[in-house]
């Protein structure tokens, strides 16, 4: 089944006509694709997971089956900030980059609809609000944002933005003022990539 034949769920009222802003960024999650080097960013071969239609850009945000409970917790209308390791043009060293702002449109984690054998993890349908390119020079390197030095509690899933498969709540940051600064900083940096 190609992505053209995969049925994307209807966009729920909670995000159909919503105007998003920085305070809606409430979750952060890493994505990783060791084969293509960039997940959910064109070109997404051989997986072909990104679906474009008249209502927007969508994909099933996948995660390790052991962590599906974390993605189930994300309410409709919240934004999830995605980051991943991308290769620079020189192809020498991968850098952590922010690549997407997405919002859930499916209510639950479901089995993968994709046919490629490697893309079989379950996930949750999301609509893309902003999406960068598939290399460091066309994305938002973490080190160029306030997030690089955010005071996440030691041992938290967000500490140093380590490679985790779980969806983590931004509220884990101890200072509410810091949360606002982080949200505003990354929202501003994503403005050229709003779809």
Residues in the chain with pLDDT values less than 50: 1, 154-164
**pLDDT computed for residue 158 by the predictor:** 45
Half-sphere exposure of 80 (CA within 13 A, CB side): 27
DSSP character string of 113-167:
---STT----EEEEEEEEE--SSGGGSEEGGGSGGGG--PPTTSTTGGG---SS-
Beta bridge mates, 130: 101, 194
**pLDDT computed for residue 175 by the predictor:** 54
Contact 147, 161 (CB under 8 A): yes
Q: Give the β-pairing of 123-131 and 56-62.
A: antiparallel
Q: Please report the sign of the dihedral spanned by the C-alpha atoms of residue 113, residue 114, residue 120, residue 126.
A: negative
First to last CA, the chain: 26
The domains of the chain are located at: 19-190
- Domain covering 19-190 in this structure, CATH number: 3.10.590
Distance CA 127, CA 9 (A): 10
| Nearest Cα to Cα of residue 114 among 152, 35, 183, 60 | 60
pTM across the whole model? 0.86
- Provide φ and ψ at 96, rounded to 5°: -75, 130
Contact 122, 134 (CB under 8 A): no
Contact 96, 141 (CB under 8 A): yes
**pLDDT computed for residue 28 by the predictor:** 85
**pLDDT computed for residue 160 by the predictor:** 39
């Amino acid at each position: 089944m190609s992505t053209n034949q995969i049925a994307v769920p209807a966009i729920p009222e909670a995000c159909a006509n919503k105007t998003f802003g920085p305070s809606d960024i409430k979750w952060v999650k890493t994505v990783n694709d060791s084969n293509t080097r960039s997940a959910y960013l064109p070109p997404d071969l051989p997986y072909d997971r990104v679906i474009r239609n008249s209502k927007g850009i969508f994909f099933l945000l996948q995660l390790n089956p052991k962590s599906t409970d974390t993605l189930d917790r994300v309410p409709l209308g919240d934004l999830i900030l995605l980051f991943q390791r991308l290769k620079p043009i020189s192809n020498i060293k991968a850098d952590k980059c922010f690549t997407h702002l997405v919002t859930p449109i499916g209510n639950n984690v479901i089995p993968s609809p994709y046919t490629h054998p490697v893309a079989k993890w379950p996930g949750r349908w999301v609509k893309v609000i902003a999406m960068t390119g598939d290399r460091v020079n066309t994305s938002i390197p973490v080190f160029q944002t306030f997030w690089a030095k955010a005071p996440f509690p030691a041992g938290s899933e967000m500490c140093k933005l380590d490679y985790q498969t779980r969806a983590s709540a931004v509220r884990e940051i101890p200072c509410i003022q810091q949360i606002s600064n982080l949200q505003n900083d990354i929202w501003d940096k994503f403005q050229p990539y709003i779809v």
